A and B are shown apart, each in its own frame.
Chain A
Amino acid sequence: MFPVLQSNLPYLLQGAVYTVILSAIVVSCGTALGVGIGVLASVGGAILRSIITAYIFLFRGVPVLVIMFLGFYSFPALGLRLDAYTAVAISMIVYVGAFVAEATRGAIAGVPTGQTEAAKSLGMRKGKMMREIVLPQAMRLVIAPVLNISLMAIKQTSYASIVGAWELSFAAREVVERTLAAFQIFLGVMLIYFIICYPLSLAARALDKRLAFDS
């Protein structure tokens, strides 16, 4: 049963390790960036808010592959000699950040107004109100969308192979070029991606149920 896949599985799994590392970097940094920007958008002034809106719209409206190409080809033009892996990671962090920022902004807006009004009537300052009342509740609301964005990001790391960053999809292509067994190899690759993503989808679904406010 699938002899080519069996003999090349160790090589594919090496690629999977790179996919997991790249995903972890992109998801963690992208989430941190996005949450930061989302909070800024909720507390900052009008100018800052419009800049952030532009950033969110720009990156949400462009395919991640195009962002990767731009990152890959523009860093050398700026005099930075980055390897493909770093270029892809940076491009994807900025891309994922835009999605997380939008989710964060939505979550902050989704905290019931009664909460902020109560805080105000207790005489809380804006910063303290944000830190102690709004953000803890908003973070609850943001976890589920962030998990969904993470799933999207993990799957999008497969585009990294197109600009030469070696990971699971690149390894798969290399094996296919030698063996021509496209069906077997990509079937295996599909399973590996599924194994990486499935726990996250389960977590997303469970959290969705647990963290939803009773309305």
Chain B
Amino acid sequence: MKNGFLSKLRSVFAGALATMVVAGAAHAQETSRLDELLSRGKLIVGVSSESPPFGFVDEKGELVGFDIDIAKLIAKATFGDETKVEFVRQSAAQRWPNAQNGTIDFGAQTTSIYADRAQKVAFTRSYIDGGVVMIVRKDAPFQKLADFNKSDVTIANLTTPTQEERAKRLFPSAQIATFDGIAAQFNAVKLGRAQGAQLDGPVAAWYVKQNPDMRVIEERLTDVVNTGIFMKPGDFRLWQYLDLTVSEMTGGYLFADYSKIYEKWFGTKPLNVKWYLNQPQK
């Protein structure tokens, strides 16, 4: 009696499960966030408003920056109108939940590609090179990275595990102080609370330009890292569409627009990913 009931229950469950799997598979093929954003007629993009020059608030109170312009360029490519984009301002820690729970279509937020992150979100190919540098006061005695590995040196980190791991690996003897924003890191060094801060290369260049009493250590902390646009994993059509757009920006029909944006924020022309196009003209 009991067994009969259990097996009946089991078969009912198995049937329900099979139905769900089939429905799920059909569902996955049909609907993509891409359809949703196309019918909505605008992009919802997660960005930082606290990371100059990638995403920050200018003197007029406008949200501006390299990532902001990249998102506008994607809107222009998608809808023929760069204003068709709504920005969601998010902290570094909020990037993952916002991408995973559908608060944003995708994020463009100076996000370096690492394996542990790629397990949480899907990344496009790189749209700009990144890399971490050390920033110090101009009058500080530091010349190379080895100079920081002393017990009386404090390294200012951002609240990301990668920075913590890197500081412990490169400077095992040094003290570590952790901050939740780039300005706090920078100010810690400026005011002498810390001797060096780990910053993204372009961000450091931007701050040093505004603060002549600071300088960047020549020796980099990392090799060049890739910066990807990230989104909820498992949506192949959306991922392919965005990855394709990035590929066109860095080496295709959108390269001219991309170059303009790059030059506006970094003052130099970007190289085309198609290396043979970068040869000097004979």
Which residues of A line the B interface, CB within 8 A? 7-8, 10-11, 14, 73, 76-77, 81, 83, 162-164, 166, 170-171, 173-178, 180, 182
Contacts and interface: CB of A to CB of B under 8 A. Distances in A.
A180 B50 contact: no
Given A164-B90, A177-B52, A182 B183 contact: yes
A163 B207 CA distance: 26
A180 B211 CA distance: 10
Give the 8 A-B CB pairs with smallest separation, nearest first: A76-B101, A177-B50, A11-B61, A174-B57, A177-B183, A176-B183, A174-B49, A178-B56
A189 B275 CA distance: 50
25 contacts: A10-B61, A14-B61, A73-B97, A76-B102, A81-B102, A83-B103, A164-B88, A164-B91, A164-B94, A173-B50, A173-B183, A174-B50, A174-B56, A176-B181, A177-B50, A177-B51, A177-B56, A177-B57, A178-B52, A178-B57, A178-B58, A180-B186, A180-B187, A180-B210, A182-B187
Contacts, number: 59
Contacts of A182: 183-184, 187
Contacts of A178: 52, 56-58
A76 B183 contact: no
Most buried by B among A83, A175, A177: A177
Nearest to A183: B187
**Main secondary structure on A side of the interface with B:** helix
A81 B101 contact: yes
Given A163-B94, A164-B91, A177 B101 contact: no
Most buried by B among A162, A171, A173: A173
Nearest to B214: A180
A172 to B, nearest CB: 11
B102 A175 contact: no
Nearest to A176: B183
B156 to A, nearest CB: 13
Nearest to B53: A178
Interface in B198-214: 207, 210-211
A113 B273 CA distance: 84
A194 to B, nearest CB: 23
Interface residues of B, number: 28
B135 interface: no
Contacts of A7: 59
B103 A81 contact: yes
B100 to A, nearest CB: 8
B84 interface: no
Given A177-B49, A177-B50, 10 more contacts: A10-B61, A76-B97, A164-B88, A164-B89, A164-B91, A174-B50, A174-B56, A174-B57, A175-B57, A177-B181
Nearest to B63: A174
Interface in B172-190: 181-184, 186-187, 190
Interface in B79-94: 88-91, 94
Contacts of A83: 103
A180 B89 contact: no
Contacts of A14: 61
Contacts of B88: 164
Contacts of A174: 49-50, 56-57
Contacts of B211: 180
Given A164-B89, A180-B207, A182-B187, A173 B181 contact: yes
Interface in B59-74: 59, 61
A170 B59 CA distance: 15
A180 B101 contact: no
Contacts of B49: 174, 177
A13 to B, nearest CB: 10
A166 B89 contact: yes
B66 to A, nearest CB: 14
A73 B93 CA distance: 12
A11 B63 CA distance: 12
A81 B101 CA distance: 8
Contacts of B186: 180
A7 B60 CA distance: 9
B179 to A, nearest CB: 11
A8 B56 contact: no
A182 B193 CA distance: 15
A81 B57 CA distance: 26
